């Protein structure tokens, strides 16, 4: 069971609506936002929080895995931070099941109405909120260099069939069809988009959430591997192990026509004075799939016991969910706000597409935060092994299904 904070609700409601809070404390926050764009976004949250009369004690740790490890070590050592960046979903719920998180329902009475259901459901444990979501980042975005597309004389593809069909024209003009960093976390975005294209949201669910053996061995999966095999010929020889931002440079600098990557890539566009939706075309891919694979950063509140720190947690949770904070944060981060009622003014064309997908209920939580960790790990390992080999599609299907089955 988590520790309840509900008794503090009325006091905190007063504290956060007056210039000088009734309670003021210090929140030590572990997070992994250390780059320039991330720091600019985080400053919005920090400044807003400190305006409540509380103090933000910053504890940045580079890299998500490292930050989570530091937080876990602190918790296990009996010295938890006040709050820690996490993502909504199963790994966070595991902490709640261990009794390591406080609930924040005292300031979350209306959140069910403000958040997409998939986010609300995955931010709660036993019906109580244990984390405050601050952004939504979509993963299956297709980006296109508009100048390259114009030079080749093609439009943004809507399906994988159209993308593959355009490759010869792109090569003929001297461009790389698809910029791809050959790392498994980048490649899975490509593979997931293929699964959506082949079988839609239901098929993606069966394969990546359920790890269903029949789906993994199905004709649809064979078709997915047939498409995935063609990706080998769409990328350049420098693809293996290349980092995402270096790969993004190929798209931005007009060396590649397309790239599939999360919307954090927009930060690279802005740094290069490229306008998302104009200089760089965008599309949730495949178009019409009604599926935006996403992750949501959130701040979980640890199971501290002293009253002042609990108050600081509630103040932080309420600040995170403030609509102005959410808007200004996402404008700098390249994300969209989890709150569905945030004003769209100022968001680029691509962000507005994403906000529409969220409003329509098309969000699909990243499988890593839902599926069995060992099973999804086996799937990803076989996916990347296939791409970097000469295996046939049928061999790829069998290898993946067998690897996942071995974890069951």
pLDDT at 6: 39
All structural domains of the chain? 6-137+295-364 (3.40.190.10), 138-293+367-405 (3.40.190.10)
* Residues sharing a CB contact under 8 Å with residue 51, sequence separation 6 or more, in sequence order: none
Q: Can you give the length of the chain in residues?
A: 408
Are 81 and 59 within 8 A, CB to CB? yes
pLDDT tens figures, 71-116: 999 999 999 999 999 999 999 999 999 999 999 999 998 999 999 9
* Two structure tokens written together for 359: 């409003």
Residue with tokens 């992994």: 32
pLDDT tens figures, 56-66: 999 999 999 99
pLDDT tens figures, 2-41: 443 433 333 333 333 333 344 579 999 999 999 878 999 9
pLDDT tens figures, 290-333: 999 999 999 999 999 999 999 999 999 999 999 999 999 999 99
* Two structure tokens written together for 88: 């909504």
pLDDT at 23: 53
Helix (H, G, I), strand (E, B) or coil at 143: strand
Mean pLDDT computed over 240-255: 96
pTM: 0.90
* Two structure tokens written together for 319: 């600040």
| Sign of the alpha-carbon dihedral angle for 106, 109, 110, 114 | positive
Mean pLDDT computed over 339-367: 97
Q: How confident is the model at residue 271 (pLDDT cuts 50, 70, 90)?
A: confident
């Amino acid at each position: 069971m988590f520790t309840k904070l509900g008794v503090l609700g009325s006091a905190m409601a007063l504290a956060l609506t007056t210039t000088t809070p009734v309670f003021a404390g210090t929140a030590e926050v572990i997070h992994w936002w250390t780059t320039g764009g991330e720091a600019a976004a985080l400053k919005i949250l920090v400044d807003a929080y400190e305006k409540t009369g509380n103090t933000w004690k910053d504890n940045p740790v580079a890299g998500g895995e490292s930050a989570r490890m530091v937080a876990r070590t602190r918790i296990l050592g009996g010295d938890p931070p006040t709050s820690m960046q996490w993502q909504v979903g199963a790994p966070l719920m595991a902490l709640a099941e261990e009794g390591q998180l406080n609930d924040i329902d005292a300031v979350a009475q209306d959140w069910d109405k403000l958040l997409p259901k998939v986010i609300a459901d995955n931010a709660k444990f036993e019906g109580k909120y244990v984390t405050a979501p601050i952004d939504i980042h979509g993963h299956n975005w297709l980006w296109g260099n508009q100048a390259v597309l114009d030079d080749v004389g093609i439009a943004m593809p809507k399906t994988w069939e159209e993308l593959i069909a355009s490759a010869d024209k792109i090569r003929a003009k001297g461009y790389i069809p698809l910029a791809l960093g050959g790392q498994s976390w980048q490649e899975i975005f490509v593979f997931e988009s293929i699964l959506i294209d082949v079988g839609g949201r239901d098929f993606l669910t069966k394969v990546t959430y359920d790890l269903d053996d029949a789906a993994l061995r199905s004709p649809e999966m064979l078709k997915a591997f047939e498409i995935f095999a063609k990706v080998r010929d769409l990328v350049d020889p420098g693809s293996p192990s290349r980092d995402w931002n270096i790969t993004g440079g190929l798209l931005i600098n007009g060396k590649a026509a397309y790239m599939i990557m999360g919307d954090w890539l927009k930060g690279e566009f802005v740094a290069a004075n490229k306008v998302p939706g104009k200089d760089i075309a965008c599309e949730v891919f495949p178009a019409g799939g009604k599926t935006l694979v996403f992750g949501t950063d959130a701040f979980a509140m640890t199971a501290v016991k002293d009253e002042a720190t609990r108050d600081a947690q509630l103040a932080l949770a309420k600040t995170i969910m403030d609509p102005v904070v959410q808007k200004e944060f996402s404008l700098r981060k390249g994300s969209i706000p989890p709150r569905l009622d945030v004003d769209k003014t100022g968001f680029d064309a691509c962000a507005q597409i994403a906000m529409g997908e969220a409003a329509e209920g098309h969000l699909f939580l990243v499988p890593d935060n839902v599926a069995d960790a060992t099973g999804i790990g086996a799937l990803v390992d076989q996916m990347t092994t296939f791409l970097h080999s000469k295996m046939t599609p049928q061999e790829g299907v069998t290898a993946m299904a067998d690897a996942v089955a071995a974890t069951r």
